[in-house]
Amino acid sequence: MQNQFRYLAADVKEGSAGDGLYARRGVSAQKEEVHAATKHLDKGLHPKAFCKIFKDVLGGDDNWVNVMHADGAGTKSILAYLYWKETADISVWKGIAQDAIVMNLDDLLCTGIYDNIIFSSTIDRNKLVIPGEVLEAIISGSQDFFDSMKEHGVNITYMGGETADVGDIVRTVAVNGTMTARWPKEKLITNEKIAVGNVIVGLAGFGQAKYEKEYNSGLGSNGLTSARHDLLNKEYIERYPETFDESLEKSVVYIGKHHMSDDVSAGEGSEEEYEVGKLLLSPTRTFAPVIKEILTAHFEAVQGLIHCSGGGQTKCLKYIPDNVRVIKDNLFDPPIVFQLIQEASKAEDKEMYQVFNMGTRMEIYTNEKDAEPMIAIAKKFGVDARVIGRVEENDVREVVIKTKDGELSYQ
């Protein structure tokens, strides 16, 4: 599918994603204020690691470490709410359960951890709009996901968690979780080995993996505030005022043309159609089965792992060395969901690649000779993979993304 992104935006400037609609909706792709608030906290044993790593306080063994990570489905739960209200399809909440888990699990994968994990959920709801049957679907959906991962040797123990009725704080529902693991030091990936000469193997977040039941749009669980408001029709303002912050300018709320039940073409030359709601709500794909096999068979060849979540294709800036340029000149063509979002928002490529994963959601930094075996493992699971770029020497830390329409630079 060809990248046809050529849209310009009057209210999205050429700089940071924080300059555009994303910021006016009260969110930030780069989370600058969050990083400022936490800058004095201990960075752990390996500051370049994707998750914070600490000494083994649980077991007291100098050869082991502890890792704890918290994340969630974000505002994707609002999309689930809209879809459920319009279709009465309760199963959509199982996907939200998976989103909250995978946003933790795939971050943990980037430190080399893929087994013997503990998960605790946190579900905050407004009881007046989210009934018990929704809670049941989220909780049972969590267990279903854990059962499916166990089939691939990824063992996650569900420890329950906190379910709170906090209608004064949450307008619908927020689904989050925390993962904890104890792991041997010798099996860690800390990103400190990323170096000039590495190539980057990219794993696609879209398509249908062998462990998935249907087509996955690849959207994941980042940028959903932007996607929701840019794609969906203003009718939702009147019908579901509980789904947005009423202090926002109405000019940035539900400014699109679509309804959740609309069908859209998969693209030029394709006879397939997808429902907008299904594209937006595709459960975030986990790469756990793939990464587990890669780490088991090729651990020494994995120099770094980056989950392109918040920050999109610029996420790696936090984890690469100071004196390198990462060049991504062979990314997958963005799948249909990102084309729809960009067409609706009129956002430029500069912002899109900084907010969204654009279809390539996991990066493996390795040596050129080791790339092909990793790609073969991914494809065995039905996950598309290829070399998407490389690491070169540079005076400053930089990411360069080459698209069909030009070159983007981030520092």
Phi, psi dihedral angles at 200 (to 5 degrees): -115, 120
**pLDDT score, position 27:** 72
Q: Domain boundaries in the chain?
A: 17-222+280-410, 227-279
Region 361-366: mean pLDDT is 98
Confidence of residue 12 (pLDDT cuts 50, 70, 90): very low
Work out the pLDDT band at 7, boundaries 50, 70, 90: very low
Question: With 50 as the cut, is the pLDDT of residue 42 above it?
Answer: yes
Is residue 164 packed enough to be buried (19+ CB in 10 Å), middle (13-18) or exposed (0-12)?
Answer: middle
Using pLDDT thresholds of 50, 70 and 90, give the confidence band for residue 21: low
Q: What is the pLDDT of residues 307-336, one digit of tens each?
A: 999 999 999 999 999 999 999 999 999 999
CB 199 within 8 A of CB 390: yes
C-alpha Rg value of the chain to the nearest Å:
20
Q: What is the mean pLDDT of residues 235-241?
A: 96
The answer, yes or no, to whether residue 207 has pLDDT greater than 80, is yes
Q: Residue 259's pLDDT is what?
A: 96
The half-sphere exposure of 95 on its side-chain side, counting CA atoms within 13 A, is 29
* pLDDT (mean) for 126-146: 98
Instruction: Give the pTM.
Output: 0.91
**What does the pLDDT look like over 262-305, one tens digit per residue?**
999 876 667 789 999 999 999 999 999 999 999 999 999 999 99
CA distances from 29 to 50, 159, 371 (A): 17, 31, 30
Confidence category of residue 34, pLDDT binned at 50, 70, 90:
low
Decide if pLDDT at 35 tops 80. Answer: no
Strands 117-125 and 156-165: parallel
For residue 132, what are the β-bridge partners? none
Condensed to tens digits (0 to 9), the pLDDT of residues 143-173 reads 999 999 999 999 999 999 999 999 999 999 9
- Helix, strand, coil abundance in the chain, percent, nearest 5: 35, 25, 40
CA angle, 181 then 61 then 106, to 5°: 20
Question: Tell me, what's the pLDDT at 10?
Answer: 27
The mean pLDDT of the chain is 92
DSSP 263-294: EEE-STT---EEEHHHHHHPPPPP-HHHHHHH
Q: What percent of the chain has pLDDT over 90?
A: 86
- 68-80: pLDDT as tens digits: 999 999 999 999 9
Taking residues 343-372, what's their average pLDDT?
A: 96
Q: Is 354 helix (H, G, I), strand (E, B) or coil?
A: helix
| pLDDT value for 94 | 98
- Work out the pLDDT band at 39, boundaries 50, 70, 90: confident
Stretch 28-48: mean pLDDT: 77
94-109: pLDDT as tens digits: 999 999 999 999 999 9
Beta bridge partners of 265: 273
- How crowded is the C-beta side of 259, counted as CA atoms within 13 Å? 9
CATH fold for the domain made of 17-222+280-410 = 60s Ribosomal Protein L30; Chain: A; (3.30.1330)
The pLDDT of 191-199, averaged and rounded, is 98
